[in-house]
Each structure stands twice: as C-alpha cells, then as structure tokens.
Structure 1
C-alpha cells in the first residue's frame, strides 16, 4: 500500500462540481487486484448531512482529488461513501474508490469542445486550452 496527502476534494454533480473545505486528508492506494483506493477527508461539520445522504444512497459518485501537491491535476475516481463520522465541529468521510483514467480523455474532450464552440486557432486556441485545463470545466457530451 502507498499513502499520499489529499490536498483537495470535489464531488461532481451533474453539471456542477461541488467544492469542500478540506482540513486534512489522505488517500491510500491499496495496490490490490481491484485497484482500490481509500480516501479519508476531514471536512467542515456542516457537510455531514450531505455525505450521510450519499452514503445512504449507496451510489458511486465521481470524485476529483488533488494528490500530494496543490499544483497537480485532479485525479478522477468513482467512489462510494463508506463511513461518515462527526468529530467535534468537523466530519471525517471515508470513501472506497477506483481510479478513473481521465487525463488524456479529458484533454481531448476539452479541445473538441473549444474547437466546436469558438472560431479561434493558433495562439488564441492554445491560450484558451491552457486556461480551460486549469479551470477544468465540466464538459457535456
């Protein structure tokens, strides 16, 4: 197993990406045959009900996790909420997840999206692509 610092966590909701204030967190690659990852996020207690509802729904949600360094691109994971545990005015949320291979796929989708909706090329295209890669907008297929 390998353990990494969780720097940021977001939940993808249909057309939105929901951000959270992460006080602390870790992500563990179990390195098992199922390629399972475990995430623990220590968040504001106000988020308790949100994650309890996700846990009760027993559905996988798409998570975007920045690992080890804030400058890293977010990794996409499909996760289920395993445990929600209030601790004082905070909440610990434990996820079981599987990595989604999205890095190249997302870049290709973004480029197609920009080319389809804007009449630009050359330097303008490159600048727009770089900006959008930083912002990581949700792209409707």
Structure 2
C-alpha cells in the first residue's frame, strides 16, 4: 500500500461529445494505492460543503464519477480515474468524501494521444520531437481527445453508471 498527498481533484463531466473539466478546490486530501489484484485506489478529499448534495445524489444512485487527480505536486501528470462514493463525512466547515477508484486512462494512452495531436498539427520530425518533449514535460491535464475517448468508452461499456 502506498499513500500520496492529493494535490488536485477535477470532475470530468460529459457534455455531448466532449468532456468538461470542473476543478473542485480541496482543503486537504490523500490518495492510496492499495496495490492489490483489483488495482484499487482510495481518494479522500476535504472539500467545501457546497458539494454535499452532488456527492449525496451520486452515492444514493450508486453512480460513478470520472475524475482527474494530480498527486503530490502540480508538476506531476494527471491520472483519470473512475470512482464511486463510499462515504461522506460532515466536518465543522467542510465535508470529507471517500471515493473508491480505478485507473481509467493509462499513461501510454496519454502519450499516444499527445503524439497524435502533434502529428495532426503538422509538425516536421525535429519539430515534432521538440514539441512532444515540451508537451509531455508540461502536461498539466490530459489532452481533450483522450478525455473525450475515455468518457465515451466508459459510458458505452455499460459497466458504470456515470453521473
């Protein structure tokens, strides 16, 4: 089991053929890789009480949320995860939300999407390599094409009740 500091949490919500990213400001948080055969992760985020109704509705519907998380530092690459709400704990000024999660988008897919986007933009070989290294170093969010693809794939699979 490995535990990391949760740096950021964004909801990835379907909007027709695209995915909108909605940053949820966190007061504090952890993410735990259980390192088990099911590849389970747990995300605990302390957030504003204004999100209470949203998370309660998802929990009541036994729904799933696609999220993007960054751990430890803003310089780390994001991880897209499919989650479900385990618990919501009211604190004095905030709530603590515990999400059970699985990786939804592997790093190789992200790399492939960045490369496809650059090829489609028409970079030459040397320009392509330089721009690829630059984009990978500064990848603060998944390419929009990757988010759209993973959202559509999860929705069409029927395995999850996306909210």
Query: What's the TM-score bracket when you normalise by the shorter of the two chains?
Result: 0.7 to 0.9
Question: Which structure features the higher share of strand residues?
Answer: 1
Q: Which residue of 2 aligns with 1:4?
A: 4
The CA deviation at 1:126 is 4.1
- Pair 1:41-2:45 in alignment: yes
Instruction: State the alpha-carbon separation in 2 of the partners of residues 133 and 29 from structure 1.
Output: 22
> Which residue number in structure 1 is paired with residue 140 of structure 2?
134
Q: Tell me by how many angstroms 1:8 deviates.
A: 0.9
Which ranges in structure 2 are unaligned for 5 or more consecutive residues? Answer: 150-163
2:90 alignment partner, one of 63, 86, 89: 86
For 1:34, what is the secondary structure of its paired residue? Answer: coil
Q: TM (normalized to structure 2)?
A: 0.73
**C-alpha separation between the residues in 1 aligned to 2:61 and 2:118?**
35
Distance 1:9 1:37 in 2: 14
Number of corresponding residues: 140
Whole-Å separation in 1 of the counterparts to 2:140 and 2:70: 13
TM-score by length of 1: 0.83
Q: Please list the CA deviations of residues 79-134 of structure 1 after superposition, one character each: whole Å capped at 9, or x if unmatched.
A: 10111222122111000111234212012123223433x34434378438618833
RMSD (Å) for aligned C-alpha atoms: 2.3
Q: Distance in 1 between matches of 2:91 and 2:13?
A: 26
Distance change (3 Å), C-alpha of 1:126 and 1:51: farther
Q: 2:129 and 2:20 mapped to 1: Cα distance? A: 24
